[in-house]
Structure 1
Amino acid sequence: MQTTFRIDGLTGSERPVKRWIKHAPTIITVGIIAAFAAHGRIAQPASYNDFADHSAIFGIPHAADVLSNAGFALVAIWGWLALRPHRNSDRLRAGWPGYRLFLIGLFLTAFGSAFFHLAPGNGRLTWDMLPIALAGAGLLVGVRGDTQPRSKTNIEAIVLGLFAVGSVAWWAATDRLGAGDLRPYLLLQVLPLILIPLWQSVYRAPRADRIAFAAAMALYVAAKVAEVLDHEIADTLGFVSGHTLKHLLATGATAAIVWGLTRRFSDSGGRAYGSGL
């Protein structure tokens, strides 16, 4: 008969599994990078800049696609005003360098995306992609800091921020050569969808955090679907295009994240990581 013993609340037979699970994020990240490398160049679709929205308001072309970016700035301002005063608290300190980058990227997204949609084209697309990449990098660092407080998140925010800039610069440089490659940029969009729920599961994030991020990711996936179905949604609904809807859904996703973070400082929120409650 096998004998088990308990260490830190785990039986001896469970502990090796726990150790393996903690390495899963690294293994998955390496696997994704390898898959991207093996796949080869991923190009921007030739028809990407052909958006369905042709509305005009007060002389603003593509007005719905342009003005629907305002929500990103509003959410970023809300997050900054609500969270910055708590940046040195135990519930935010470790993740703040990442969330700060996320909020800055989110605020800049409102202007970069609006600028792009005024006259869609690859020449302006860089200014849309760059703040989105920064926001994705910041989100990764923020959640990593929450779940693994010993992480050097200030350094990680700088490193991933530079990677975000480099990913967009890589696309811009390869696009000028007629062989645009989105792989580094897409990596920053794929990794949060996989690593964030995994980190939160492994390190037993508070239920409120898991709910907020799960809602955000569901809305983000819906936003990407709406983006792909831009013309189909416009033809079906008539009053809104898929890309405009994408902006609104993505705004909802970022609002869910900020809501989850601000809830830590409400009277009823804010249980510690590892509690699983």
Structure 2
Amino acid sequence: MRKRSVWAWGVAIFCFIVLMIVTPAIPQSQEYHNFADQRKFLGIPNALNVVSNFPFLVVGLIGLVLCHHGNYFKLSLQGELWGWTCFYIGVAAVAFGSSYYHLKPNDARLVWDRLPMTVAFTSIIGIFIIERIDERKGTVSLIPLLLAGVISIMYWRFFDDLRPYAAVQFVPCLAIPLMAILLPPMYTHSTYWLWAAGFYLLAKIEEAADKPIYNWTHHIVSGHTLKHLCAAMVPVFLTLMLAKRDIETNRISLYRSWRISWSKTKENGAEMDSHTCTYSSVAVEESH
């Protein structure tokens, strides 16, 4: 098992090196800082983009309290508590880092916006390894994953190249839904992972459509503000999942359970189609 782990890390590092060789550098565009909604309220510049980060603080603090107060989430696997603790710390820190950035958007402040998000992303990958693959491997991988996230931010800041950060951000976006669908879960309610992934995808779409959404809503709200609110739904759904879930007694993947449900639906439909109806003729007596 240890040899397989070494091979897995080796393949991942090799693929990353090849990606860095064959792809050009991606510098940070300064247009990124030019958000659609720059209105000032109560003396706060870019007010809605700043205030819309508040839900991250609320969810992050609630998650931390429930993790450590009486083990409300019933975290029993090795490393789970540390993984979820890092995740909720990252979520709560997003409120401060993103607010600080949006008060005066520039590259120097963007570091503090992206750093807590990276902590949350990489923690989630470690949690998934703990739950779906191996407790010990997932626990051991938490620190390297967190370091990889921090290094990707530092690499971008010093070399103006977003490729490592893009890999750290988007690999979880692909890996988590695939792992949630294909790997047998340890706990129930694993569809909440897909809800969380869906809201994150919606948030990225809203971020890309910042100015069009601002125009469509007649300058009421921008896409970036909505992006913050939708992204905050990710930890909300994961917190609900933790609160509701139990140990899964029948460990089958979502993909397999969907196939079983689809097969049963087809069989039921075939049975309904196979029923035949017979009609008997009824003699009608003529009246005189």
- Shorter-chain TM band: 0.7 to 0.9
- Is 45-54 or 27-36 further displaced after alignment? 27-36
Change (3 A) 1:168 1:272: farther
Task: Check if 1:222 corresponds to 2:199.
Answer: no
Measured in 2, the distance between the counterparts of 1:132 and 1:240 equals 23
**In structure 1, what is the equivalent of residue 142 of structure 2?**
157
2:184–2:251: 8 Å Cα contact kept in structure 1? yes
**In structure 2, what is the equivalent of residue 199 of structure 1?**
179
For 1:152, give the aligned amino acid: K
**In structure 2, what is the equivalent of residue 232 of structure 1?**
212
Alignment of 1:248-263 (within 5 A): 248-263=229-244
CA deviation map 1:193-223 (0-9, x unaligned): 2222333334312685431111111111111
Measured in 1, the distance between the counterparts of 2:178 and 2:12 equals 10
For 2:168, give the aligned amino acid: L
2:40–2:47: 8 Å Cα contact kept in structure 1? yes
Change (3 A) 1:88 1:52: closer
- Residue 117 of structure 2: which of 107, 116, 132 is its match? 132
Alpha-carbon shift at residue 55 of structure 1 (Å): 2.2
**In structure 2, what is the equivalent of residue 182 of structure 1?**
162
Alpha-carbon shift at residue 159 of structure 1 (Å): 1.3
For 2:155, give the aligned amino acid: W
| Aligned CA-pair RMSD | 2.7
Change (3 A) 1:134 1:201: same
Alignment of 1:32-43 (within 5 A): 34-35=18-19, 37-43=21-27
Any gaps of 5 or more consecutive residues in structure 2? 1-6, 258-288
Alignment of 1:265-276 (within 5 A): 269-271=246-248, 274-276=251-253
Change (3 A) 1:258 1:89: closer
Task: Check if 1:113 corresponds to 2:93.
Answer: no
CA deviation map 1:26-60 (0-9, x unaligned): 97896576445422212222310001112222211
Measured in 2, the distance between the counterparts of 1:243 and 1:88 equals 32
Structure number with greater Rg is 2
Measured in 2, the distance between the counterparts of 1:58 and 1:94 equals 44
Alignment of 1:13-32 (within 5 A): none
Percent identity, aligned pairs only? 30
Change (3 A) 1:165 1:193: same
Measured in 2, the distance between the counterparts of 1:35 and 1:158 equals 23
Alignment of 1:61-72 (within 5 A): 61-72=45-56
Task: Check if 1:145 corresponds to 2:130.
Answer: yes
The number of equivalent residue pairs is: 246
**In structure 2, what is the equivalent of residue 12 of structure 1?**
none
CA deviation map 1:60-93 (0-9, x unaligned): 1101000100111111112112223438956454
Alpha-carbon shift at residue 239 of structure 1 (Å): 1.0
Q: Does 1 or 2 have the higher relative contact order (CA < 8 Å, sep 6+)? A: 1
- Is 138-147 or 189-198 further displaced after alignment? 189-198
**In structure 2, what is the equivalent of residue 60 of structure 1?**
44
Alpha-carbon shift at residue 253 of structure 1 (Å): 1.6
1:147–1:205: 8 Å Cα contact kept in structure 2? yes
1:144 match: secondary structure: helix
- TM-score using structure 1 length: 0.79
Alignment of 1:34-113 (within 5 A): 34-35=18-19, 37-84=21-68, 85-86=70-71, 89=74, 91-113=76-98
Change (3 A) 1:24 1:229: farther
Alpha-carbon shift at residue 273 of structure 1 (Å): 7.7
2:31 match: secondary structure: coil
